[in-house]
Structure 1
Amino acid sequence: MTTQSLNGIVNVTVSVSPSMPSASSLNVGLIVGTSTIIPTATRVATYSSTSDMLSSGWTGTEPEYKAAVAYFSQSPAPTSVMIGRQDATVPETPLEAVQACRTASNGWYGVYVCGVADSDIEAIAQYVQSAQPQTMFFYDTQSANVASGTTPNVMSTLQSDKDNRTFGLYSATEQYSGAAAMGLAMGSNTGLANSTFTMAYKSLVGITPDNLSTQQVSNITGWNGNVYTTYGNGYELLVQGHMADGTPLDQVLYLDALTVDIQTTVMNALVSLPKIPLTDAGVTMLMNDIAQVCDQAVTTGFLAPGIWNGPAILGLTPGTNLSKGYMILAEKVSTLTQEQIQQRQAPPIYACVKLAGAIEHVVIGVQVSL
């Protein structure tokens, strides 16, 4: 018996949604140098380990390889590194090399450049302040002026420039301690539950602590620089984990991650849905997407419930308890002008977040009774 197709009555079509781009995890570092293993036309290459580098033509004697050893030696270890080529035959400045590597790839977040002079450090630091996508610069210096407290020096210059995207480490003997610090930061940024970290008081695997006087440590940290030295009865510690302007590294990194995650989530909503109506309900859809990102930031430990101490925003006033660690607010669609409506512009949305912060200094009073 011939049966008739049901399509004429109930026509079912199946559509598989395309996978949306995920947000960058901001956990890959770039090491730049003048070795010629990577062609200038290629500019950058990605490796999963130093063994991967050796199998790809590196000999193990190059500065980039040695920096990668310091980078991958950290615990937890990063999952990959990118190596960038500085074309020394042109000649190309370190800054121009970093810029060319950014043009070639958006896949890296941190950057370390081998063998740079103080003037190059200052030029790269100035560039990364406004580089897109967001970038973080790591360097090490053996400058005697830094340790002695003599100005000018590279750390005092970056401090006065208020650079919040540059992490400097004084190291009298180790050439690649900045690469180790970058490896620590990239490896620690896993995005897992309770994974947020600070750079303060961590160990740099494979790096020998500097033998510094108390005054030298005070001089270096006074410029918002960082040291790796010995404390107490044998603690080998990275202190203080700050960027050149004094901002903790983790705060810069996780605010970057939050920004990227929100941007990617909202963009994916705009791409994946037939449309988001320009109504209060449509705006609420976007607010819910942003709330999911903030929930994840609470899960990792970057955000936490607390009292809002920022400015008054819509219905949020100073002193309000953010019980979720954040509050998402938006203007009403009715506040839009006709021109904004014609441009299909959403009303302003505000993600008000409370940072969990971190304890890095403790005062303890011991009371004794005889």
Structure 2
Amino acid sequence: MSLSIKEVVNAQIMPQAMAARRRDLSMIAIFTPEIGSAFTDDTTRYVIVSSAQDVANLFGTKSEAHKAALSLFSVRPTPKRALISRWAKAKQEIPATANALKGSTISAGINAFKAVTDGAMMLNVGGKDVLLSGLNFSTAIDFSDISGVLQKALPENSNLSVIWDATGHRAIIQAQSAGAYPATKLGYVADPNTGTYVGNMLKLQDGQASIVIGKSAVTVEQELPSEALHKLQNVYQDWYGVYFADAITDEQLDDMHTWIAAADMKVGAYTALRDELLDWNNDNILKKQCDKSSGRLMVEYNKTGDDHAAVSLLGISLSTNWNAQNSAKTVKFKQQTAVRSDDRITLSDAEKCRRLGVNFYTDYDGVSMIAEGVMLGGVFIDETVGIDAFLDACQKQAFTTLQANPTKIPQTDKGQAMLIGALTVIGNEFVRNGFLAGGLWRGNDIGELTYGDRLDEGFYFYSDSYDLQSLADRESRKAMPIMCAIKLAGAIHSVDLLIQFNR
């Protein structure tokens, strides 16, 4: 036996750390009080959907959740996915569900079943094996007849039914009485080693079928919007936009906005349908929210019957791909394909909206567009979302630099330069996508950057030397604070044309 080459050259692959994933700022959570087929228990808080059709399948085509989803998924570029989240606006009575064994889609044709005259399979009912034998499918015309043969083979008083699901093209064995009854708890079918085994054809065996455990009726207590938001955040954090697909009271709007303003990077949207919401007085709920100056709530005024116009505005606002070149955009001028343009908005209405920071969708000389692309209070939507994206990218980049280094980032000026070098990648990325640009710095002095200096790169990261660090911070292994100056590229929303002429 020869000696191993490892005695001379010992080659090893070093483990590669995973980079921290950035937050998905395009993910919108639509809250609905509707139960549909998604919230049939008291624990499910959300479902993820990728189209309005997904929502229709869960809640029906006439549901408010589906109407909101139609408005959301109509925007271009279309969101890849969204959340539909539970909101118990009123006390919800969730009915009991039955024990069931649900097969997957049957691939065999009816003729394959008609060839079986001595079918058999072992079904586990209440922890006991029940033999279903003598299954003769030769006279079956369609798959409902197959279910009928299975039904006749079940023992009398078994309290079980065999249902043919035409939509899913599958067989379902289900308890006739809903509730958590151990006697009708079902398991997978198995080969009884007699007759012709049909469990695999019916897709009812392990690996093909799904076991549903029956549950008793439960009650979900009424929730405030903030409670629904809090409960979703506890179980799932990768979402950014908030919209309630139901009429909410002024108190509920205030409750929602208060939670969003205090949360870690969230924005919300609200459709204003009443004329009095544009009044500049302290009794107006929008005036009260405007005075909070959170820059986190976008409102769209609509008088055309589009109750969910604001979720379309939210979708447009959050559809930016920050990794792409020249992808940063302003929300003003954009079109809402699922919202009717309102040519009845007067100049007086427009001025009221602008004063509060309320958006509206109307036409300018026949061209439909959103105006003004602002959060309630007047902060531009693209600035709020862009700064959130920049902050999240910097945070994840710094974390990945620390965590992914196979050794360490030293607590020295050289180590600090490594961190700043990693953050510079993010700065360049946001210059490339058009959110940042060079210009004059008119902020406080940072490092060598002073008021009036030219910030050519559009960003500047600075840190003091570790020679100035306190002993307590050094012993705690803290880095020196990194300060960042960024110059927003902004967007042109209006222009004056001065024309001179001569004869």
TM-score of the superposed pair, with normalisation by structure 2: 0.70
Residue in structure 2 matched with residue 66 of structure 1 by the alignment: 67
CA distance in 1, matches of 2:451, 2:281: 43
Residue in structure 1 matched with residue 336 of structure 2 by the alignment: 204
Say whether 1:240 aligns with 2:372: yes
Asked if the contact 2:301–2:359 (Cα under 8 Å) also holds between the matched residues in 1, the reply is yes
- Deviation of 1:190 after TM superposition, in Å, equals 5.1
2:48 pairs with one of 37, 43, 46:
46
Asked if the contact 2:34–2:59 (Cα under 8 Å) also holds between the matched residues in 1, the reply is no
Specify the code of the residue in structure 1 equivalent to 2:283: P
Query: How many residues are treated as equivalent by the alignment?
Result: 366
Identity, % of aligned positions: 24
Asked if the contact 2:17–2:403 (Cα under 8 Å) also holds between the matched residues in 1, the reply is no
- Deviation of 1:247 after TM superposition, in Å, equals 0.8
CA deviation digits over 1:106-147, x for unaligned, max 9?
121011012212221122112111202x10011111122134
Asked if the contact 1:78–1:183 (Cα under 8 Å) also holds between the matched residues in 2, the reply is yes
Residue in structure 2 matched with residue 154 of structure 1 by the alignment: 285
Which stretch of structure 1 is more off in the superposition, 134-143 or 179-188?
A: 179-188
CA deviation digits over 1:335-366, x for unaligned, max 9?
00111110111111112111111111111112
Asked if the contact 1:25–1:191 (Cα under 8 Å) also holds between the matched residues in 2, the reply is no
1:106 pairs with one of 237, 250, 254:
237
Say whether 1:92 aligns with 2:223: yes
Local SS of the residue matching 1:187: coil
CA distance in 2, matches of 1:355, 1:149: 31
CA distance in 2, matches of 1:362, 1:154: 33
Residue in structure 2 matched with residue 8 of structure 1 by the alignment: 7
Asked if the contact 2:441–2:452 (Cα under 8 Å) also holds between the matched residues in 1, the reply is yes
Say whether 1:191 aligns with 2:323: yes
Residue in structure 1 matched with residue 202 of structure 2 by the alignment: none
CA distance in 1, matches of 2:360, 2:283: 19
- Deviation of 1:152 after TM superposition, in Å, equals 2.6
Asked if the contact 1:145–1:151 (Cα under 8 Å) also holds between the matched residues in 2, the reply is no
Structure 2 unmatched runs, 5+: 92-220
CA distance in 1, matches of 2:309, 2:59: 21
Say whether 1:268 aligns with 2:400: yes
Residue in structure 1 matched with residue 386 of structure 2 by the alignment: 254
Structure 1 unmatched runs, 5+: none
CA distance in 2, matches of 1:267, 1:188: 24
Local SS of the residue matching 2:60: coil
Which stretch of structure 1 is more off in the superposition, 198-207 or 18-27?
A: 18-27
Asked if the contact 2:278–2:356 (Cα under 8 Å) also holds between the matched residues in 1, the reply is no
Specify the code of the residue in structure 1 equivalent to 2:297: T
CA deviation digits over 1:230-276, x for unaligned, max 9?
222x1111110111121100000010011111111111111111211
- Deviation of 1:177 after TM superposition, in Å, equals 0.3
Residue in structure 2 matched with residue 174 of structure 1 by the alignment: 306
CA distance in 1, matches of 2:321, 2:283: 34
TM-score of the superposed pair, with normalisation by structure 1: 0.95
Local SS of the residue matching 1:228: strand
CA distance in 2, matches of 1:149, 1:350: 39
Say whether 1:140 aligns with 2:139: no
Residue in structure 1 matched with residue 296 of structure 2 by the alignment: 165
CA distance in 1, matches of 2:16, 2:494: 50
CA distance in 2, matches of 1:176, 1:194: 29
Asked if the contact 1:148–1:216 (Cα under 8 Å) also holds between the matched residues in 2, the reply is no
Report the structure, 1 or 2, having the larger strand content: 2
Residue in structure 1 matched with residue 494 of structure 2 by the alignment: 361
CA distance in 1, matches of 2:71, 2:317: 12
Say whether 1:121 aligns with 2:253: yes
Which stretch of structure 1 is more off in the superposition, 134-143 or 190-199?
A: 190-199
Local SS of the residue matching 2:59: coil
- Deviation of 1:150 after TM superposition, in Å, equals 5.6
Specify the code of the residue in structure 2 equivalent to 1:321: R
CA distance in 2, matches of 1:310, 1:137: 29
CA distance in 2, matches of 1:325, 1:205: 35
Asked if the contact 1:224–1:245 (Cα under 8 Å) also holds between the matched residues in 2, the reply is yes
Residue in structure 1 matched with residue 16 of structure 2 by the alignment: 17
CA distance in 1, matches of 2:501, 2:285: 47
CA distance in 2, matches of 1:184, 1:117: 25
1:301 pairs with one of 406, 410, 434:
434
CA distance in 2, matches of 1:18, 1:315: 35
Asked if the contact 2:373–2:380 (Cα under 8 Å) also holds between the matched residues in 1, the reply is yes
CA distance in 1, matches of 2:338, 2:446: 48
Local SS of the residue matching 2:55: helix
CA distance in 1, matches of 2:32, 2:447: 50
- Deviation of 1:222 after TM superposition, in Å, equals 1.1
Q: 1:106 to 1:119 in 2, by over 3 A?
A: same
